[in-house]
Amino acid sequence: MRRDNLKELLNQGHEKEPLSRRDAIKLMGISPIAASVIASVGSGSVTNAEAVDVKGKILIVGGGSGALMVLARLNRAISNPDITVIAPNETHLYQPGQVFVAAGLMTQDELQKPNSDYINGNVNWIKDEVKTFDADNNTVTTRGGQVVGYDYMIVATGVVNRFDKIAGLKEEDIGTNGITSVYLSDLEKGTARGATATWDWYNEVKKAAETKRPTVLYTQPDTPIKCGGAPQKMLYLSADYLKEAGLSADYYFYTGLKKLFHLPKVDEELTRVQKSYDKIETKYSHFLRSIDVKAKKATFIHAYEKEVIDEDFGEKSMQSFADEVVVKYDFIHVVPPMTPPAALEKSKLVNDSGWLDVDKFTLQHSKYKNVFGIGDVCGIPMGKTGGTARHQGPIVVGNLLAVMQAKELKEKFDGYTVCPLKTQYGKILMAEFNYEGPKPTIPFLDYSKPRWMWWEFDRYMLEPMYWRLMLTGLF
Ligand SMILES: Cc1cc2nc3c(=O)[nH]c(=O)nc-3n(C[C@H](O)[C@H](O)[C@H](O)COP(=O)(O)OP(=O)(O)OC[C@H]3O[C@@H](n4cnc5c(N)ncnc54)[C@H](O)[C@@H]3O)c2cc1C
C-alpha cells in the first residue's frame, strides 16, 4: 500500500511542474527507503533563491541522464542562463528499465518519455548530433553542418555499443539464431529492441530446456561498460526463470574480467549465488572476438600469464599468452565492447585510453578548463551508471559556476557508483561504492546480501523517482 502511495505521488502532475521539495519531503514520511535515498542527497542542490548572475554561453552535448540532470540544476543555479543543448533524441529512454523489460516485468513504452518535458523554457535545443569537436576554438559542428560556439561546454554523450567489434555479428542478428543482448538500443529513437528481444529469448531458452539442457553463454567484454552488473543480472534472472519452471540449462559466463565483482564481499556473495543455481560456470579473462551466427559458435580470446623457464639460462619469467577458445552454443547473450561516440574519439578531448579526459574529482577537463564531463563518457576509474551521473550533477554545476566566477573549484566527486545486482526474481544485492570502497546508503545493513527490499525499491520506486526527482535535478 505504501509503495502504491509513493508511486502515485511521484507520478502525479508529471506533465505540469517538477516535484517540489515539500512533496519530496512528504515522500520521506511514506517510505523509509525513499527517506534514506533522499537523505543521501548531495549538498549541491541549488534553489532559485541562490541563483547567481553569471554570464556565458553554456553548451550541453547529449540528451540522456547526465545532460538532463545538469541542465535542470543549471537552470535553477543561474538567474538568466544562456544554455544550448545539442541532442538528437526526442524520446528519453529509462535505460535501467531495459533489464525489467528483458525479464518480462515491464514494457518498452514504460521506459519512454518525451525529452521536451525536460528540455524546455529558454533552452536552445538543437536536435542534432555533434560530428566534430574543436576545443581549441570553442566550437562544435553538427551532423547537419551547423557550427555552434560556446564559452563553457558539458560533454554528456554517454557511450556507444560496439557490436561491430565482434567479428561476424551484426546488430540485425540480435533476436535471431539464439542471439540476444539486453544492451541493444537506439538512443536517438529512444527504443530498446534488445530488451524486448531478450524476453522472447528467455522464453526460447525455457522452451528448449523442456526437451534437452541447452548450452547458454553469457559474455562480458574487457572494456568499461555502462551498468557493469547488467551482464550478471541477465544471467541470474534467466537461470531463476528456468528454476521456477523446474527446468535448467548449462550456463557459462565468459567474462573479460578476472573477478565477478571488484569488492571482495560482493565477489564472494556472487560466487555463492552462482552455486545456488543448477549450473553456472564462469570463465574469467575471456573476451568475445567473433561469432559464427549460423554455426552457433563463439570464439573467445583467453588472455593469461604463465611462468616460463628459459631453457638456455634456466631463468623463470612471467609471460603473457592469448589463446583462441571456440565454444559451440545453443543460445548466447552478448554484451558488446563500449566506447565514446566517434566524434569524441577523434577529438582532442580524450585521454590515451580514448575516454573524456576529466579530473576524477572535479570532473573538469584536464586541458580545456572551460569543459566538464558528466556520465558514462568520463574517463574516470569508477562508475558508468545513472546513479553516478546523479551524484556528479551537483559537482559539475558547482565547479562550472566557480570557473564562471573565476573562483577556486571546491566540489569533489567521490566516485559514487551503484550496481543493483538482480540475483533472482525478487532479490537485489545493492552494491554501492566509491573511490575508497563500499559506500552503502544504509550503512547498518550488510551491503553484500541480496534483499527483497532493494528489489521493491528498484522495481517500483526508482523509475518514478528517476523521472520526477533525478532528471529534474531535485536530487
Ligand atoms: C541494460 C542497462 C541497465 C542499466 N541499469 C542501471 C541501473 O540499474 N542503475 C543505474 O544507475 N544505471 C543503470 N544503467 C546505466 C545508465 O542508464 C547510464 O549510466 C546513464 O544513462 C548514463 O547517462 P549519460 O548521460 O552518461 O548517457 P546516456 O543516458 O546514455 O545519454 C547519452 C546521450 O547522448 C546523446 N549523444 C550521443 N552522441 C552524441 C553526439 N555526438 N552529439 C549529441 N548527442 C549525443 C545520446 O543520444 C543520448 O541522448 C543501465 C544501462 C543499461 C544499458
Tell me the residue range of the domain where 131 lies. 42-161+341-470
Q: Does any domain span residue 86?
A: yes
- Here the CATH number for the domain that contains residue 95 is 3.50.50.60
Q: Does any domain span residue 14?
A: no
Q: Indicate which residue's Cα is closest to atom 44 of ligand 1.
A: 62
Asked if pLDDT for residue 463 goes beyond 50, the answer is yes
d(CA 245, CA 362): 50
Q: What is the mean pLDDT of residues 142-150?
A: 98
Q: Does any domain span residue 448?
A: yes
Name, in order, each residue with C-beta under 8 angstroms of 99's C-beta and a sequence gap of 6 or more: 182, 195, 230, 233, 234, 237, 422
Q: Are residues 356 and 444 in the same domain?
A: yes
Q: Are residues 356 and 295 in the same domain?
A: no
Domain end (from 338, 371, 399): 338
Q: Are residues 326 and 404 in the same domain?
A: no
Q: Are residues 347 and 331 in the same domain?
A: no
Q: Does any domain span residue 11?
A: no
Asked if pLDDT for residue 50 goes beyond 80, the answer is no
Q: Are residues 315 and 372 in the same domain?
A: no
pLDDT score, position 383? 81
pLDDT score, position 226? 97
Q: Which long-range contacts (CB under 8 A, 24 or more apart) does 362-366 make?
A: 362/395, 362/399, 362/409, 362/411, 362/412, 362/413, 363/392, 363/395, 363/396, 363/399, 363/413, 364/399, 364/403, 364/409, 365/135
Cβ atoms of residues 123 and 76 within 8 Å: no
Out of 226, 355, 380, 467, give the residue to mutate to test ligand 1, the one with the largest number of ligand atoms within 8 Å of its CB.
226
pLDDT tier at 179 (50, 70, 90 boundaries)? very high
Q: Are residues 67 and 126 in the same domain?
A: yes
Domain end (from 338, 373, 408): 338
pLDDT tier at 15 (50, 70, 90 boundaries)? very low
Q: Does any domain span residue 106?
A: yes
Q: What is the mean pLDDT of residues 186-214?
A: 97
Residue type, position 165, single letter: K
Question: How remote is the CA of residue 419 from the centroid of ligand 1, in Å?
Answer: 15
Q: Are residues 157 and 303 in the same domain?
A: no
Q: Are residues 325 and 457 in the same domain?
A: no
Q: Does any domain span residue 17?
A: no
pLDDT tens per residue, range 220-250? 999 999 999 999 999 999 999 999 999 999 9
Q: Are residues 62 and 84 in the same domain?
A: yes
Question: How remote is the CA of residue 351 from the centroid of ligand 1, in Å?
Answer: 20
Other beta carbons within 10 Å of 294: 9
Out of 376, 419, 430, 466, give the residue to mutate to test ligand 1, the one with the largest number of ligand atoms within 8 Å of its CB.
376
| Ligand 1 lining (C-beta closer than 6 Å) | 61-67, 86-89, 95-96, 98-99, 129-130, 156-158, 182-183, 187-188, 226-227, 230, 341, 343, 375-377, 384-387, 389, 418, 420
pLDDT tier at 264 (50, 70, 90 boundaries)? very high
pLDDT tens per residue, range 163-177? 999 999 999 999 999
Question: How remote is the CA of residue 117 from the centroid of ligand 1, in Å?
Answer: 18
pLDDT tens per residue, range 209-225? 999 999 999 999 999 99
pLDDT tier at 49 (50, 70, 90 boundaries)? low
pLDDT tens per residue, range 318-363? 999 999 999 999 999 999 999 999 999 999 999 999 999 999 999 9
Question: How remote is the CA of residue 158 from the centroid of ligand 1, in Å?
Answer: 5
Q: Can you list the positions of beta strands (E) in 256-356? A: 280-283, 286-292, 297-309, 316-328, 331-333, 338-339
Cβ atoms of residues 335 and 231 within 8 Å: yes
- Here the CATH number for the domain that contains residue 287 is 3.50.50.100
Number of domains the chain is built from: 2
Q: Are residues 263 and 389 in the same domain?
A: no
DSSP run (H or E) holding 396: helix 386-404
Q: Are residues 328 and 370 in the same domain?
A: no
Q: Are residues 376 and 462 in the same domain?
A: yes
Domain end (from 281, 316, 338): 338
Q: Does any domain span residue 328?
A: yes
Q: Cell numbers for 2, please give them.
A: 505504501
